[in-house]
Structure 1
Amino acid sequence: MRILVIEDEIRLAEFVCQGLTQAGHVADRADNGATGLELAATTEYDAILLDLMLPGQNGLEVLRNLREFGVPTPVIIVSALSGTGHVIKGLDAGAVDYLRKPFEFDELLARLRALQRKTATVPTLRLHDLTLDPVLRHVTRAGQPLSLTNREFALLELLLRSPGRVVTKTRMAEKVWDVDFDMGSNVIEVHVSQLRRKLDRAFPDLPPLLETVVGHGYRLRAAAPTA
């Protein structure tokens, strides 16, 4: 998942973003409501973690503005305001969940998994002999489990959601890396090469699935491959 963390407590925000990254997510951060609103309105996120007590535009104002702008991204409020009234206001404003501070990080991850299950239109992605479960983070080819890094998993999931269609490097950077990604680097090529090694080269008796479309990007074969 690509997640936006709108939190003005710098140490907490850094801790959450680091934990999300280690759990296989992509995390961007904003330390005030205006910046968070701008990022949420211009970037495609799978979820937003929103503090309520923000400088300038508070969390409820950010949430209401997002909904007025037609941004449907699920929002989980994460706040020290723990009274029932605050929870009701947050949920009525359009949040899907409310997590009180302080919280255990494992609980946050569990709530994100629950959100992912609710919003997943295809619980398990399949293409030919390849399967990927985005919630359990389990991948197999020809019945054999694949051990992928977090980035490799995210790249494969992105490709599997568009079988047969070219996914550009720009799209990969937007979905798998954070907003500060350097498009001039060869990081994407390196990760795609590692993914191809595990997905195709590890199965020399099976037809390759991952294709490079020179000058455009990468894709998974949608038509049944032949050896």
Structure 2
Amino acid sequence: MTNQIFLVEDDLKLARLIELELTSEGYGVTVLYDGVAGLTAMRESKPDLLIMDWGIPGITGIEICRRLRATGNQLPIILLTGRDQVQDRVMGLDAGADDYVTKPFSIEELLARVRARLRSAQSQDEVSFEDVRLNRQTREAYRGERPLELTLKEFDLLEYLLSHPRQVLTRDAILERIWGFDFIGDSNVIEVHMRNLRLKLEKQQEKRLIQTVRGIGYALRGRHPG
């Protein structure tokens, strides 16, 4: 399966150069030119890697890092920037970037970092809790040996829960992570999707794992019925 990479860079010549090099290496590449477009695209499709300039217009790269990490999104991020001071590097990494490449850089170095980040991410494709397991790469999920037929949002919900076992995830965090930062829609969208996900997980009378934490949100727990 071809790795999909989002590149958010407002320097058109640099963006084109990086796109051509990544494409020649066999990656699928989507180029975006500002932060708002980047966030919108990531709500509609989940890439395997994000390469992003620090100073893109609209919403800066550093702010996008913070927003993604605040919702628990662990998408690998390589930050590109002309800032070369130690404190800038620290700020970028603290905001959630996995790697930090200072301009000007050699394309060979960037490609090597892309390969390293994708290898690291692929080693974390499998997540599980008790008898539920999920593969982020193949987008397959199972309860025991039984495959789960999940919609896109149900899969994303289950992946979010499995990535944070026993933690209470608030409704706001779930809404922001799964439906986006500016979602406008039915107020009970989380409840509807969570109910459908539970029905599929418990189709053969298996015990309940998704627990409702009244007034707060949901948690993946294995001990208490709910």
**Band of TM-score, shorter chain:** 0.5 to 0.7
Cα displacement string for residues 28-71 of structure 1 (whole angstroms, at most 9, x for unaligned residues) = x9942872223324541523366x6xxxxxx3439987622133
Which of 186, 189, 194 lines up with 1:187 in the alignment?
A: 189
Cα displacement string for residues 131-157 of structure 1 (whole angstroms, at most 9, x for unaligned residues) = 122333221112110121222112112
Which of 40, 44, 49 lines up with 1:21 in the alignment?
A: 44
Paired residues of 1:24 and 1:151 also in contact (CA < 8 A): no
The residue aligned with 1:150 is 152
Quote the offset at 1:73 in angstroms. 2.1
- Seen in structure 2, the aligned counterparts of structure 1 residues 16 and 155 have a Cα distance that, compared at 3 Å, is closer
The residue aligned with 1:35 is 60
Gaps of 5+ in 2: 13-29
Task: Please tell me the root mean square deviation across aligned C-alpha atoms, in Å.
Answer: 4.4
Normalising by structure 2, report the TM-score. 0.61
The residue aligned with 1:97 is 114
Paired residues of 2:78 and 2:99 also in contact (CA < 8 A): yes
Paired residues of 1:140 and 1:146 also in contact (CA < 8 A): yes
The AA in structure 2 aligned to 1:86 is S
* Identity percentage of aligned residues: 29
The AA in structure 1 aligned to 2:121 is Q
Matched residue of 1:96: which SS? helix
Paired residues of 1:5 and 1:48 also in contact (CA < 8 A): no
Quote the offset at 1:221 in angstroms. 2.3
The AA in structure 1 aligned to 2:212 is T
Paired residues of 1:6 and 1:49 also in contact (CA < 8 A): no
The AA in structure 2 aligned to 1:217 is G
Q: 1:75 and 1:68 mapped to 2: Cα distance?
A: 11
The residue aligned with 2:207 is 207
Quote the offset at 1:219 in angstroms. 1.6
May I ask how many residue pairs the two structures share in their alignment? 191
Q: 1:65 and 1:180 mapped to 2: Cα distance?
A: 32
Q: 1:41 and 1:142 mapped to 2: Cα distance?
A: 36
Which of 75, 87, 95 lines up with 2:107 in the alignment?
A: 87
More off after superposition, 31-40 vs 127-136:
31-40
The AA in structure 2 aligned to 1:48 is I
Gaps of 5+ in 1: 53-58, 99-110
Q: 2:189 and 2:155 mapped to 1: Cα distance?
A: 15
> After superposition, where does 1:125-144 map in structure 2 within 5 Å?
125-144=127-146
The residue aligned with 1:218 is 218
Which of 198, 201, 205 lines up with 2:200 in the alignment?
A: 198
